[in-house]
Amino acid sequence: MQTKRTVFHSRILPYFLLAPQLIITLIFFVWPAAQAIRQSFLRQDPFGLKETFVWFANYTRLLDDPDYLNALGATFVFSVGVTLLSMSLSLMFAVAVNRVLRSGRFYTTLLVWPYAVAPAAAGLLWWFMFNPSVGIIPYFLSFLGYEWNHRLHTGDAMVLIIIAAAWKQISYNFLFFVAGLQSVPQSLSEAAAIDGAGPFKRFWTVIFPLLSPTTFFLAVINITYAMFDTFGIVDATTSGGPSQSTNILVYKVYADGFIGLNLGPSAAQSVILMLIVIALTVVQFRWIERKVQY
């Protein structure tokens, strides 16, 4: 790993400099993670007096549990929904901003700030918009003959949290798509125009393929976001309901561990989540390595 060609010589100073970061990491990250892994192989008796080593029993029980499989399915639908919705809207806005010259900055300012809104607040904003009795969207939907009720209809609840989560992520995707579009050379677009390709054809055959590194990177980031940073949205709105339809994995691990106090199975869920984050991080960093080689 890289350092400077010449370095300072000191035997203890670097350890002092690293100490605060390392101590916090070890106490609040590594040690709890190790505890979760250990706990996931143990089972407590009902009184919490004795722990027995049960190998993978917590994991196998989890994978046989219809509630857990349901949470896996909900997480999948939710992450794919958020990623597709948010990325397609952002790409559309980014392409549009890239076309307008003078007013681009103005539109950008108006589009980027939802990044700063807390997930819980974003959830409440849409919870209000979709509220069956006072919300504006159910009011219009009722003209189309649809009775919106996210407290009763499982599909409605899922759509609600997907929209809230995607809304918050638009600004992030937008900024990265704009950066990606600006790095596509204008000359390629002009060459295609001379060959007779219209704007839409140019976009799909020239620009979009050249954006694929950005698109891939954003897809990974969005899936990570949808899986791990949306706890506040679910907690502030549906709390996993109705009938567990929006009980995504991060919410379930909290509900089982903190409210249900099911230590072993909750720890096993934590470990599975850790494996998912590790996989996503590895994919993300491999992509960055490839980008550097260009």
Partner 1 sequence: MVENRPFLTFLTHLILIFGVLTVVFPVYLAFVASTRGATDFMTGIVPLLPGDQLSANYGYLLGSGESTAGAPPFMLMLANSLLMAILIAIGKIAISIISAFAIVYFRFPLRVLAFWVIFMTLMLPVEVRILPTYKVVADLGMLNSYSGLVIPVIASATATFLFRQFFLTVPEEMMEAARVDGAGPMKFFRDILLPLSRTNIAALFIIMFIYGWNQYLWPMLITTEPHYYTVVMGIKRLASVLDGDTQWNLVMAGVILAGLPPVLVIIFMQRLFVKGLVETEK
Q: Which of residues 175-194 bind partner 1 (CB under 8 A)?
A: 175-176, 179, 186, 189-190, 193
DSSP codes, 147-186: ---TTT-HHHHHHHHHHHHHHHHHHHHHHHHHHHHHTS-H
Of 5-13, 45-53, 57-65, 71-79: span binding partner 1 (CB under 8 A): 5-13
Task: Tally Cβ neighbours within 10 Å of residue 284.
Answer: 15
- What DSSP state is assigned to residue 69? H
12-41 residues in contact with partner 1 (CB under 8 A) are 13-15, 17-18, 20-22, 24-33, 35-36, 39
The DSSP element (H or E) to which 271 belongs, if any, is helix 263-293
For residue 5, report the phi and psi dihedrals to the nearest 5 degrees: -60, -50
CA-CA distance, 57 to 85, in Å (whole number)?
Answer: 38
Q: Which residues of 128-147 are buried (b: 16+ CB within 10 A; e: fewer)?
A: ebbbbeebebbeebeeeeee
CB of 143 to partner 1, least distance (A): 12
Residue in 46, 49, 134, 145 binding partner 1, rule: CB under 8 A: 134
Quick one: 202 or 245, whose CB is closer to partner 1? 202
- Distance set, CA 160 to CA 136, 186, 256, 269 (Å): 13, 39, 23, 25
Tokens of 185: 């050379």
CA-CA distance, 224 to 38, in Å (whole number)?
Answer: 25
Tokens of 23: 């101590």
Tokens of 166: 């995607």
Residue in 87, 161, 207, 273 binding partner 1, rule: CB under 8 A: 273
2 binds partner 1 (CB under 8 A): yes
CB of 176 to partner 1, least distance (A): 7
CB of 47 to partner 1, least distance (A): 18
113 binds partner 1 (CB under 8 A): yes
Of 55-63, 66-74, 80-88, 121-129: span binding partner 1 (CB under 8 A): 121-129
Of 44-52, 53-61, 75-83, 112-120: span binding partner 1 (CB under 8 A): 112-120
231 binds partner 1 (CB under 8 A): yes
Residue in 162, 207, 267, 268 binding partner 1, rule: CB under 8 A: 267
43-82 residues in contact with partner 1 (CB under 8 A) are none
How many amino acids of this chain bind partner 1 (CB under 8 A)?
102
250 binds partner 1 (CB under 8 A): yes
Residue in 50, 65, 67, 139 binding partner 1, rule: CB under 8 A: 139
